[in-house]
Chain A
């Protein structure tokens, strides 16, 4: 090759190197269709009080629902209310047949005619569960409940049992009411509020936080738990409860109740179902099991309605 032809060769080389071929799919954009209505489904609706994000809720109860579908032969569908209030409203409107809620919300649902039929046994607290008061581990100013006076406090939700009612009951037992705090705030947003409270304390946005016991394990992957100190824990109260709405078919309720009660952590197939839902067992429950909650509500001066 002579020198004179070298530039031509280089040019051809570059042009060849730049050529690319991508597969193309032809689409006729003129053929359009409207979104068809999904239509009504006859499935039994199942909702998990949105204390976590929908995906967490979905992940926790997906296997349980599959188990129930398989066990009862019923068609069940999980629905995801965005807030506690929406959950209550949906129960009231009959859009949620089976609710899995905290005892405080259950008190509200019970007023709407819901009926408890099962409750869960959690890994750390048996059938009951507790609330926790947390501060930053390196906060030297708060070493006791009394030190919380005048501080900024954040709670999960006014309707949260472990995240608000139980810790504030503990404060009340120690003579501290909401008025004694500089500020009382609640986590906002749809779901994930327990984690939000931990993060608010962790970042120093608030001095004190109230959460249900077990939350710290959930946020273990997000923050360094050594930075969080548990200041106090409330007494155990009855844990989360399954209830059916008013007017739900009792036979189906029983069928479901039996299926739930039939779950056993010792069984190989059931263990992952329970573990995914954060339970170790499901036991039967009755409305009277929740009297201590009603008592606490009254002591705190709350009207017991959903707020």
Chain B
């Protein structure tokens, strides 16, 4: 019932309420009013009857005394709307009456009145109607000379009462109809406004916050108050009432934000613009919409800022080559950067929601998981380097794992960054190698310097002794061996001094190509005997460098010899290329061969002193070290790559030659003379 009532339209409810009120009033009032009316009529009728009967008794004195029955008859006949009237004499005999045919015998004794009473009233039921019978004594000088009786119809009173009640009921009906009509008009007025409000509220719900439920008033606060305070937020605010604008600057009015604050009660602005409750509601809606719009605008701004920051962060993260990932306390991936996603063969979107076991091998996943959980539990960051041997070779990563805390200091997630430091590691190795070589150079230089002098004395004395010894004697031959081996030692010592750059250098401007061609010419013939051809591709611009031609030639011959030594028995081809790279400020020499190539392990040690792959007696292992030292002395670089790059243009091999992986040595010599010039 209640839900049914609550579903009814407001207009129907109002009409039902009015009907209930009017019917309720009619139900309560009609019986009461009927009773009261009846009672009042009866009372009034009794008074009237008493007055009539008393009057008749007074007027009947003279005719009764005079026995003037005609006058008496006229008297009882004169009384208008009575049912009957009759007069009794002192002996209670009826002397006159108003009945058409005789008087009812039983009526005479139906009502008695004492001589000391004024009137006695008795209700009489005639079987057809109810009659109020009034009896009054006819008194003269204290003596009773008769009785007057009249009867007034009570039934007529009842009819009158019914008539009155009918009229009242009709009136209630009229009031009901009028109330319903007025209520309907009123309800329609209210519901129309409520419907507008509802539509406005629906607009608000759908996000249309710019419409107003209440049209702006005709008069604004600054007009009414003649306010010049242009800095007041209410000034020229044509949308809101001033009591809905926060922080107004009314000096004489304590305006406080909010609908109808008590401080507004006496304000002329408020009194002029205030409306009924519906308008208040509408204004509140407008105020809410206004506030909501502000909030939404703020939220949108914040969202835009957030989006921008997110995009920026995403860009930064994605541009970052490090592998960055974020997992929650359950070790579930929340996000990652693009590098991480690519490293595990997924997209960034696919990463979210996965765990380590989805992305890595079971062993690695187990390791990462345990380590991550450890960080989440202990809250201590992990900062270490990790070696990974993968299909792409060995790689080094710098791993940092940081716990992320929320506002309350609780750990909510874990940030992991894996930075690829393989190159740094290589540089580190190279640096160590360089330092090692420098130390060896210094050591070798020192030792060679100390040995060079005794070697010279040994050589000198052995030559002196040889001159004194008979030429074909055993002594001379022995001394010759001593002289020869001492010279070998001097050569080794000279190489050591060259490696440690402690030898004498004679730098000057020189033609790079000439230096190369002189070296090639020197060895070309002997190489050809071993079925090794030399092909030159020299830069036509004849680059000029600042260097020591002899030492550089030593480098070129060393490289050419190494190339030839790498050739199989079937021979091969050596390509010598020079290129002037003016933008880089260098000139480059490439010595490429079709030989057997160098394995990966040897490549890293090839410039180490005394490292050689040649058989004993064929090399000291100082050639490339010395070349490395000479190139460094010229501020240049020397590097090796094996096998040959696939795009290298290798000329056809001599007939019968077998092509190997090949090796290419590259030497960069700066054109700039540097600080030494």
Contact = CB atoms under 8 A, between A and B. Distances in A.
B123 A23 contact: yes
Interface in B103-122: 103-107, 110-111, 122
B100 to A, nearest CB: 10
A24 B110 CA distance: 10
A18 B122 CA distance: 20
Contacts of B62: 53-55, 80, 190-191
B67 interface: yes
Interface of B: 24, 27-28, 31-32, 35-36, 39, 61-62, 65-68, 93-97, 99, 101-107, 110-111, 122-128, 130, 133, 140-141, 143, 145
B122 A25 contact: yes
Contact of A54 (B66, B101, B107, B111): B66
Contacts of B133: 25
Nearest to B133: A25
24 contacts: A11-B28, A14-B31, A18-B31, A23-B122, A24-B123, A24-B124, A25-B110, A25-B123, A26-B124, A27-B106, A27-B110, A27-B124, A28-B127, A29-B104, A30-B104, A33-B103, A34-B102, A54-B61, A55-B62, A55-B140, A79-B66, A79-B67, A80-B67, A82-B68
Given A25-B110, A29-B107, A82-B68, A7 B28 contact: yes
Nearest to B61: A55
A32 B102 contact: yes
A78 B65 CA distance: 8
Contacts of B143: 62
B140 A58 contact: yes
A34 B97 CA distance: 10
Nearest to B29: A14
B293 to A, nearest CB: 45
A53 B66 CA distance: 11
A18 B30 CA distance: 12
Nearest to A276: B141
A35 B95 contact: yes
Interface residues of A, number: 37
Contacts of B65: 54-55, 57-58, 78, 80
B104 A32 contact: yes
B31 A15 contact: yes
A224 to B, nearest CB: 25
A43 to B, nearest CB: 12
Contact of B105 (A11, A33, A62): A33
A61 to B, nearest CB: 10
A287 B565 CA distance: 215
A79 to B, nearest CB: 7
A141 interface: no
A28 B31 CA distance: 32
Contacts of B145: 58
B164 to A, nearest CB: 15
A26 B127 contact: yes
Contacts of A30: 104
B28 A25 contact: no
Interface of A: 7, 10-11, 14-15, 18, 20, 22-36, 38, 53-55, 57-59, 62, 78-82, 190-191
A34 B105 CA distance: 9
B125 A32 contact: no
A18 B106 CA distance: 32
Contacts of B103: 32-33, 35
Contacts of A18: 31-32, 35-36, 39
Contacts of B94: 35
B126 A27 contact: yes
Nearest to A32: B102
A82 B70 CA distance: 13
B235 to A, nearest CB: 52
Contact of B125 (A24, A38, A190): A24
Contacts of A25: 110-111, 122-125, 133
Given A7-B28, A14-B28, A54-B62, A22 B95 contact: no
Nearest to B62: A54
B282 to A, nearest CB: 34
Contacts of B126: 27, 29
Shortest 6 CB-CB contacts between residues of A and residues of B: A18-B35, A32-B102, A59-B141, A80-B66, A54-B62, A54-B65
B576 to A, nearest CB: 118
A27 B107 contact: yes
Contacts of B127: 26, 28-29
Given A18-B39, A27-B107, A79-B67, A36 B93 contact: yes
Nearest to A59: B141
Contacts of A57: 65
A19 B125 CA distance: 19
A77 to B, nearest CB: 10
A25 B126 CA distance: 8
A59 B140 CA distance: 7
Most buried by B among A25, A33, A79, A81: A25
Most buried by A among B104, B125, B128: B104
A256 B539 CA distance: 200
Contacts of A62: 140-141, 143
A7 B25 CA distance: 11
Given A20-B39, A55-B65, A32 B105 contact: yes
Contacts of A190: 62
A81 B66 CA distance: 6
Most buried by B among A27, A32, A57, A82: A27
Contacts of B111: 25
Nearest to B97: A35
Nearest to A36: B93
Contacts of B39: 18, 20
A247 B242 CA distance: 120
A27 B28 contact: no
Contacts of A24: 123-125, 130
Contacts of B66: 54, 79-82
A37 B65 CA distance: 17
B645 to A, nearest CB: 103
Contacts of A29: 104, 106-107, 126-128
Contacts of B67: 38, 79-80
Nearest to B94: A35
B106 A31 contact: yes
Contacts of B125: 24-27
A3 B21 CA distance: 16
Contacts of B61: 54-55, 58
A223 to B, nearest CB: 21
A34 B96 CA distance: 10
B143 to A, nearest CB: 6
Most buried by A among B32, B123, B145: B32
B96 A35 contact: yes
Contacts of B123: 22-25
Contacts of A22: 123
A287 B411 CA distance: 155
Contacts of B140: 55, 58-59, 62
Contacts of A191: 62
Contacts of A38: 67, 93, 95
B236 to A, nearest CB: 53
A22 B38 CA distance: 13
A22 B132 CA distance: 11
Nearest to B86: A35
